[in-house]
Amino acid sequence: MATLVPALTKSDWEHRLSILQSWKYWHKNPIDPGRIDPNLDYRITYNAVIDGCAITVRALCLCFGLSLKAVDGQGRLVSLPKTDQTIPGSSEARHQALLACCKTNSVAHPFAAAFLADPKDLQQLCLLEVLFLANRCVAHPNGGDLYHEVSPEKMKSAINTLLSWLRSSAFPGLADVPQSLLDPLS
């Protein structure tokens, strides 16, 4: 099966999957950065871990031919509707706007095509939000408005969706990684 990325080795897979597993460890046992440096705060470590996980999710989604580009025709970042619990339909409007930015390529894995087929799927929305975050986090090379508005539950859902795709795929090198790296986050 053709992919957008070169074949990953066992070591490559382990590194990427360990980053995703870091979400589980950080979320269940957050480090109190005040113990390390009283000038650091909890949000700094949260943003660092969420950025690393979001970028890793985006890179692994590319293996399946799935990407989200929230830019206009001139390459400028687009503004998407916000979800406001007091406004009926705002969550659906955001979901549809995110779907409109999502693309699959000609070598897209069947998981990616099936993923985009159900616009009401909650796991779909969570993964789309994480892909949007990956385009707005501090590590993104094109800059833009910093964005860390993904809840811990949405990040966990997005990671678990991707892990389920990986468990069912046959990418070279992936079969050799420890199964625990592919286990869903609890």
- On whether residue 99 sits in a domain, the answer given is yes
- On whether residue 152 sits in a domain, the answer given is yes
Say if residues 129 and 155 touch (Cβ distance below 8 Å): no
> Could you please report the per-residue DSSP string of 142-182?
T--S------HHHHHHHHHHHHHHHHT---TTGGGS-GGGG
- On whether residue 141 sits in a domain, the answer given is yes
- On whether residue 178 sits in a domain, the answer given is no
pTM of the full predicted structure? 0.79
- On whether residue 120 sits in a domain, the answer given is yes
pLDDT at 129 over 90: no
- On whether residue 94 sits in a domain, the answer given is yes
Say if residues 155 and 130 touch (Cβ distance below 8 Å): yes
Say if residues 118 and 105 touch (Cβ distance below 8 Å): no
- On whether residue 60 sits in a domain, the answer given is yes
Range of the domain at 18: 10-68+88-173
Q: How open is the CA angle 48-45-63, to the nearest 5 degrees?
A: 30
Return the higher-pLDDT residue of 45 and 8. 8
What is the number of domains present in the chain? Answer: 1
Average pLDDT score over residue span 103-113 = 70
Average pLDDT along the chain: 75
- On whether residue 100 sits in a domain, the answer given is yes
